[in-house]
Amino acid sequence: MTSRSFLRLVLAGAVASGAVVLAAVPAGAASPGKAKAPLTVPVRLLALNDFHGNLEPPTGSSGRMVDENGNTVDAGGAAYIATHMKALTDKNTIAVAQGDLIGASPLLSAAYHDEPSVEFLGKLGLKVAAVGNHEFDEGYTELRRIMKGGCHPVDGCSPAGKWKGATFDYVGANVLFKNPNERTDALASLGAQQAQAKKLMADWGVPALPPVSVKWVNGVPIGFIGLVTQTTPNIVTAEGIKNLKFIDEVKAANVASKILKLVGVKAQVVLMHEGDQVNAGQSPDACSAVAGAGARIATQVDPEIDVVLSGHSHQAYLCKIKDPAGNDRLYSQGGSFGRVITQVDLKVNLKNLDIDRSSVVADNHVVTRTVDPDSDINTFVQTWRDRVAPVANKTIGSITAELSNTATPSGESPLGDVIADAQLAATRTGGNAQIALMNPGGVRTLLSYPSSPAGEGDGVVTYGEAFAVQPFNNLMQVVTLTGAQLKTVLEQQFTGGPNNQPFTKILQPSANFTYTYSTGAPWGSKVSDMKIDGVPVTDAQTIRVAANNFLVGGGDAFAAFTQGTDLWSGPLDIDAFVAYLGTNSPIAPPATNRITVTS
């Protein structure tokens, strides 16, 4: 990014601070003897997070939401989102989002590199969005294409023609270049603020994405600061972001806040792709968040920041937290998959151009399906459904009962185990794999087994259903690990170690690999009794281990995978899964007894 382009992005409609103040005074402001001009003006924010390309109404638990009355209702779907958004939108509205709008998407969107979803969000009126970790699933270069336009370098143009780019701003203040070729030093147009801005930039680095966006409503500027979880390098494929670094969210937000203030933008909102877990089953309007990574950022960012809208954890909550100056500010999130729209109403003081925090009122609206779906968006979604139908509806296998991705007490799931078996089958020839391990977060949904009125399940699995389970298009790879290194990988499933695993993530093992872990043992001594085909594993032996390239690259904080040698790359993970279903159908749910748990 050049310095000139950065400056344009920072200003984004703002000018020098004096001009901002002048521009904020409404035309026809009161003069002596006339009625006084209003002291404040209203602004409404409508926010989405973690949409993940769910143009069609999501199914299963992903398509249900607890509403304000404690009822579980069907929710989500692009046409329903559009209806609700129109009902909530007024002349004071800015539509925003907190990341993961794309990536890990159903086939309808993913088959065309999520161009349909980004186009839909433009039709929805979205103006600004933080990047999420899933915006980097296909790498930084592909994200730039989505932002700026152009056809995919491998797959070419979609049936809709040359991609025109996103109509909204993507922002990410804590995404920097590791080794920038250009310095952001041409800040002459800031005039008296030039030296201060240079110092701020020197302390920060060179952003790889626009760090902020300024939008005007009712004559006042609102500054939006984008943040993505600092853990992004651990949860996306390393190759795609090899030239980037993701710095501390608080540090980046504070620098961005100071730059906004420097150019006269005092009403500031953070769009943050990080959040917290909740106490289950509560109203989306409750402050049910359990303080974690999201709350840390929300309480520590600069007091100038008035509102923090979050994402990433797929939860819904509305909280008031204290900023470093001891003042209340909103900290919220709106679920995932387009099931909730967060409405924030506030007022901006015309004298100081800042948000009156006492005026901030928020409401999480569940996107129910009891309204009429928007006809234009329905037609739009159907167009893409027709385009992808020949691929999505192809039968690839069958199952005898539901294959769930819900973890059992050991951490295994029936579907996770099946995927591990599929990956081993796909990598034995060529990669000489002996075992396979699958990350549970990559098993995105279940394979359902719907029943007819007579009680007979159809059991058919289509390509679209299989793709919904594994939508990342990761490569299958095989590396050689010693027995001791394999044990370290398994130890890294648990919190408490040097890899900073945020919560326990049990890898799904292929059927021929068994082991025991102790819940009470200290980190480093939890795993024991590893066996391959019933034969104990020794520390010194070498083992060919299959996993997707995300894990092999150290993703999900499994750093020990990067010690592997003799790397071999094979088919895509979805292709391995499809091939296994085709060869072994009908597939019954396996017994989840590969891992033994002791106290």
- In terms of phi and psi (left: phi > 0; alpha: psi -120 to 50; beta: otherwise), the region of 429 is beta
Residues 76 and 221 in one domain: yes
Residue 20 included in any domain: no
Q: Quote the strand ranges of 134-246, DSSP E.
A: 169-171, 175-177, 212-217, 220-228, 244-246
What are the two backbone dihedrals, phi and then psi, of residue 456, each rounded to the nearest 5 degrees? Answer: -100, 120
The bridge status of strand 475-482 relative to strand 542-548 is antiparallel
Residues in the chain: 599
Residues 288 and 211 in one domain: yes
Residues 460 and 352 in one domain: no
Residues 47 and 139 in one domain: yes
Residue 35 included in any domain: no
Residue 59 included in any domain: yes
pLDDT at 316: 97
Residue 385 included in any domain: no
Residues 439 and 341 in one domain: no
Last residue of a domain, one of 345, 375, 405: 375
Helix (H) or strand (E) holding 581: helix 573-584
Q: Which two tokens stand for residue 503?
A: 């919560």
Residues 398 and 345 in one domain: no
Structural domains counted in the chain = 2
- Distance, in Å, from the CA atom of 303 to the CA atom of 112, rounded to the nearest integer, reads 42
pLDDT, mean of each 10-residue run, the chain (599 residues): 42 32 32 64 98 91 91 97 98 98 93 97 98 95 98 96 98 92 43 60 82 97 98 88 96 96 97 93 94 97 98 96 98 97 98 97 98 98 96 94 95 98 96 97 90 62 94 91 98 93 94 98 97 98 96 92 92 94 97 97
Q: Which domain holds residue 106?
A: 40-375
pLDDT at 32: 43
- Distance, in Å, from the CA atom of 41 to the CA atom of 26, rounded to the nearest integer, reads 10
Residue 9 included in any domain: no
Residues 134 and 173 in one domain: yes
| Cβ atoms 219, 24 nearer than 8 A | yes
SS3 assignment, position 1: coil
- Distance, in Å, from the CA atom of 393 to the CA atom of 63, rounded to the nearest integer, reads 21
CA 429 to chain CA centroid, Å, is 35
Residues 325 and 199 in one domain: yes
Residues 168 and 280 in one domain: yes
Expressed in percent and rounded to 5, the helix, strand and coil fractions of the chain are 30, 30, 40
Largest Cα separation within the chain, whole Å, is 94
Residues 237 and 354 in one domain: yes
Last residue of a domain, one of 323, 341, 375: 375
Helices 249-262, 293-300: axis angle to 10 degrees equals 30
One-letter amino acid for residue 81 of the chain: I
pTM of the entire structure? Answer: 0.81
CB neighbours of 1 closer than 8 A, spacing ≥ 6? 182, 184, 206, 207, 208, 209
Residue 255 included in any domain: yes
Q: Which residues of 110-135 are buried (b: 16+ CB within 10 A; e: fewer)?
A: bbbbbbbbbbbbeebbbbbbbbbbbb
404: domain CATH number? Answer: 3.90.780.10
323: domain CATH number? Answer: 3.60.21.10
DSSP secondary structure letters along 233-269: HHHS-GGGGTTEEE--HHHHHHHHHHHHHHTT--EEE
| Cβ atoms 407, 112 nearer than 8 A | no
Residue 247 included in any domain: yes
Helix spans in 181-335 (H): 194-204, 232-235, 249-262, 293-300
- Distance, in Å, from the CA atom of 153 to the CA atom of 140, rounded to the nearest integer, reads 14
Last residue of a domain, one of 346, 375, 404: 375
Rounded to 5°, the CA angle 569-571-574 comes to 135
Residues 167 and 61 in one domain: yes
Residue 5 included in any domain: no
pLDDT at 153: 97
pLDDT at 473: 84
DSSP 451: B
Residues 147 and 206 in one domain: yes
